[in-house]
């Protein structure tokens, strides 16, 4: 009979227990805190970093081991490592209070970060910081559920913040460029303009296609795409314009128009010549500066020699 005295009893502290019921028996694993979820997300692959003890228990707190014959019969395998993996994957994770608090804080922070990226202040069109969004969420008493992702929560939080009185928040707009064939644009254009918040430009492009550049709410982008897909499938092109992309397009269009004109061709021919001449001038200046540098050193050396020679002459004269 074992004596449970402080000398021969080893207590497991700071443990996360993973529990699984199978075949009328309970099987438990003693794991390190904050390690089971990374293993399930395949961020952690080493079992030594997850398990505190490489054995299966029926009760971790009492230190009771599972009967191997029953365990092998219930799991239909004698490989204990595979049994441990199945318990880790399908078992219930018993979180401690600190682990639950850390998870809630991380989820709250992730949701606030997504909301700050997708929303702006409608008065000055500037985005809110993460701390400001967190304060808004706390003022509105928004609670989060652990079984939902941060993106799902963010969509719900944006709706709640917009409906809350006294908060000035709006989704950040996105610029959309839509091109389609002219013969199919008539039945779609009225419904398309109704979904746009504001129109930057519309009309016929240089290629003979109908072009629409408008500002749209992110929530309505999906409905615009489904409308175009259902009505004129394969006869349209939609893309989200970015500031850098727009500038690049304008720059390339200006270059192409300049190259087409006769005056532009002459200018384009002279541009590389100027750059080459400037590079040659810079190279010449650097070479001349390098060439002038040793001449200055030679002057200093000659001055030192003259000084030394004068001192020696004085010494000879004293003698």
| Structural domain boundaries enclosing 32 | 16-94
Residues 27-48 have pLDDT tens digits of 999 998 888 888 888 888 899 9
Residues 274-301 have pLDDT tens digits of 333 334 444 444 444 444 444 555 555 5
Residues 82-126 have pLDDT tens digits of 999 999 999 998 777 887 888 889 999 999 999 998 888 888 888
Find the mean pLDDT for residues 174-178. Answer: 87
Taking every pair of C-alpha atoms in the chain, what is the biggest distance, in angstroms? 118
Identify whether residues 119 and 182 lie together within a single domain: no
> Could you identify the residue written with the tokens 């390098």?
290
> Could you identify the residue written with the tokens 């009760």?
59
Identify whether residues 178 and 199 lie together within a single domain: yes
Identify whether residues 159 and 197 lie together within a single domain: no
pLDDT at 222: 85
- Residues sharing a CB contact under 8 Å with residue 204, sequence separation 6 or more, in sequence order: 182, 210, 211
Under 8 Å between Cβ of 77 and 22: no
At residue 70, does pLDDT exceed 70?
yes
Report the alpha-carbon distance of residue 198 to residue 188 in Å, rounded.
17
Q: How sure is the predictor about 181, in pLDDT bands with cuts at 50, 70 and 90?
A: confident
Residue 185 lies in a domain: yes
CATH code of residue 73? 3.30.1250.10
CATH code of residue 113? 1.10.10.900
Q: How many domains does the chain divide into?
A: 3
Mean pLDDT lowest for which of 130-134, 211-215, 266-270? 266-270
DSSP-assigned letter for residue 49: G
pLDDT at 304: 53
Helix H segments across the chain?
Answer: 36-40, 68-75, 80-90, 97-118, 130-139, 150-163, 186-195, 218-231, 243-260, 262-318
Nearest partner of 75 among 87, 64, 65, judged by Cα? 87
> Could you identify the residue written with the tokens 């013969």?
183
Nearest partner of 215 among 202, 201, 199, 227, judged by Cα? 199
| Domain boundary residue, one of 224, 256, 288 | 256
**Ramachandran assignment for 227, one of left (phi > 0), alpha (psi -120 to 50 degrees), beta (any other):** alpha
Q: Which residues of 113-140 are buried (b: 16+ CB within 10 A; e: fewer)?
A: bbbbebbbeeeeeeebebeebbebbeee
| Domain boundary residue, one of 117, 150, 171 | 171
Residue 190 lies in a domain: yes
- Residues sharing a CB contact under 8 Å with residue 125, sequence separation 6 or more, in sequence order: none
Find the mean pLDDT for residues 40-61. Answer: 89
Q: Across the chain, what does the average pLDDT equal?
A: 75
pLDDT at 93: 86
Q: Which helix (H) or strand (E) holds 21?
A: strand 16-22
DSSP-assigned letter for residue 227: H
Identify whether residues 248 and 184 lie together within a single domain: yes
Nearest partner of 192 among 206, 204, 208, 176, judged by Cα? 176
Nearest partner of 112 among 158, 46, 167, judged by Cα? 158
């Amino acid at each position: 009979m074992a004596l449970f005295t402080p000398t021969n009893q080893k207590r497991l502290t700071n443990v996360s227990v993973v529990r699984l019921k199978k075949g009328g028996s309970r099987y438990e694993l003693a794991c390190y805190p904050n390690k089971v979820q990374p293993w399930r997300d395949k961020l952690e692959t080493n079992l030594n970093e997850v398990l505190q003890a490489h054995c299966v228990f029926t009760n971790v707190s009492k230190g009771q081991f599972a009967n191997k014959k029953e365990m092998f019969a219930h799991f239909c395998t004698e490989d204990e490592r595979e049994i441990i993996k199945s318990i880790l994957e399908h078992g219930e994770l018993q979180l401690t209070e600190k682990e639950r608090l850390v998870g809630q804080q991380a989820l709250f922070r992730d949701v606030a970060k997504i909301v700050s990226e997708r929303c702006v202040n409608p008065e000055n069109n500037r985005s809110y910081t993460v701390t400001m969004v967190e304060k808004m969420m706390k003022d509105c008493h928004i609670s989060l559920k652990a079984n939902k992702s941060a993106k799902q929560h963010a969509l719900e939080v944006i709706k709640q913040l917009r409906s809350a009185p006294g908060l000035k928040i709006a989704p950040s707009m996105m610029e959309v460029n839509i091109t389609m064939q002219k013969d199919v644009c008539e039945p779609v254009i009225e419904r398309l303009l109704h979904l746009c918040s504001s129109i930057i430009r519309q009309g016929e492009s240089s290629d003979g296609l109908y072009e629409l550049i408008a500002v749209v709410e992110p929530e309505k982008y999906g409905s615009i795409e489904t409308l175009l897909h259902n009505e004129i499938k394969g006869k349209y092109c939609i893309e989200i314009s970015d500031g850098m992309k727009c500038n690049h397009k304008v720059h390339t269009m200006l270059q192409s128009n300049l190259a087409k004109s006769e005056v532009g061709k002459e200018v384009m021919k002279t541009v590389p010549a100027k750059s080459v001449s400037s590079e040659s001038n810079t190279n010449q200046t650097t070479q001349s500066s390098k060439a002038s540098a040793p001449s200055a050193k030679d002057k200093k050396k000659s001055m030192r020699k003259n000084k030394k020679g004068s001192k020696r002459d004085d010494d000879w004269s004293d003698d």
